Amino acid sequence: MSTAPRPPAIASLVPSLFVVIWATGFIAARLVAPYSEPLTFVAARVVSVAAVLAVIAWIAGARWPRDALGWRNALVAGVLMQGLYVLGVFWSVHRGLPAGIAALVGSLQPLLTAMLARPLLGEFVSRRRWLGIGIGFVGAGLVLAPKIGAADTSGIPPLALAACLGAMAAMTLGTLWQKRTSAAADLLTNATVQFVGAAALAVPLALLAEEGRVTPALPLAFGMAWSVFVNSVAGILLLLWLIRRGAVAGVASLLFLVPPVSAAMAYLLFGEALTPIQIAGMAVATAGVAIANRG
């Protein structure tokens, strides 16, 4: 019996799996927050991920970059996507930026990606995709609206907000850089080098800005293990696969589903209530992503 239809069927599940895995990052961040300083946690995380991916790449016999250009491209992507982005989000929330505002800022990424895809990649963004991106942004906003309304937005620290905006811009540029420079790179070794770049940024920053305070606890150990093996190793490999195979604006639009999925996880794990407007927002965001990625 022929097994030809299986790869497309499996591939169709990858975007959904990516969204679920990416959304767990916010849950893990909440879980470990009482036990570790943010930059210290991120530094330990990216170093651990780089080590795990290097071992996997060695066992698999994966092909490493053949020249300095290949190493440079992966390192730049890592500094942007895994270094500046993650550090900026963790630092801004730690410095008082409400989580709802941080998530809303992150929801701007697909819009910025779509705007830059044409001039930087020559990628045409159709009206249908623009419509889907707009609908997805509205849906994400509805999901986050109750959290934003509950926060004292008048006291948003300007520096923390600027850091979060910078993190969003870094992730956008990293995604575009990855799409433009790494079409022929091995996904496994490319991801490994990315986390080496992130570690080269995160470790010195953590040493300079923090005291390295860590309180050993089971939630911290579980959160670190989940962040390393699931959220980072599995998540980044799925993201790089999606970027390689799809239009970058369409891949970015998947991030509109992260706030709804995170909200649903918070409801199940922490008992956070879901309001009718959030449930409606989930449906709207899902419809927007479906329109943006149709076909």
Tokens read off for 222: 């579980």
* Per-residue pLDDT reduced to its tens digit, 71-96: 999 999 999 999 999 898 888 877 87
Confirm whether 30 is domain-assigned: no
> Distances in Å between the alpha carbon of 18 and those of 22, 111, 114, 192?
6, 19, 20, 18
Q: Would residue 266 count as lying in a domain?
A: yes
Give the 3-state secondary structure of residue 183: coil
- Check if the beta carbon of residue 191 is closer than 8 Å to that of residue 240: yes
Averaged pLDDT for residues 30-56? 91
- Residue 33 forms part of a structural domain: no
* In the predicted structure, residue 257 carries a pLDDT above the cut 70: yes
Number of domains the chain contains: 1
Against a cut of 0.85, is the pTM above it?
A: no
The per-residue pLDDT for 130 is 83
Q: Is residue 276 part of a domain?
A: yes
Report the alpha-carbon distance of residue 44 to residue 41 in Å, rounded: 5
Report the pLDDT averaged over residues 230-248: 84
- Do the domain assignments include residue 23? no
Q: How confident is the model at residue 99 (pLDDT cuts 50, 70, 90)?
A: low
Evaluate whether 73 touches 182 at the Cβ level (below 8 Å): yes
What is the pLDDT averaged over residues 274-295? 77
In a domain, 4, yes or no: no
Give the Cα-Cα-Cα angle 237, 188, 91 (nearest 5 degrees): 55
C-alpha R_g of the chain: 19
In a domain, 258, yes or no: yes
State whether the Cα torsion 251-256-262-264 is positive or negative. Answer: negative
Supply the range of the domain harboring residue 83: 39-59+69-292
- Condensed to tens digits (0 to 9), the pLDDT of residues 200-224 reads 999 999 999 899 889 999 999 999 9
Q: Is residue 86 part of a domain?
A: yes
If you ran DSSP here, which 8-state letter would residue 64 be given? P
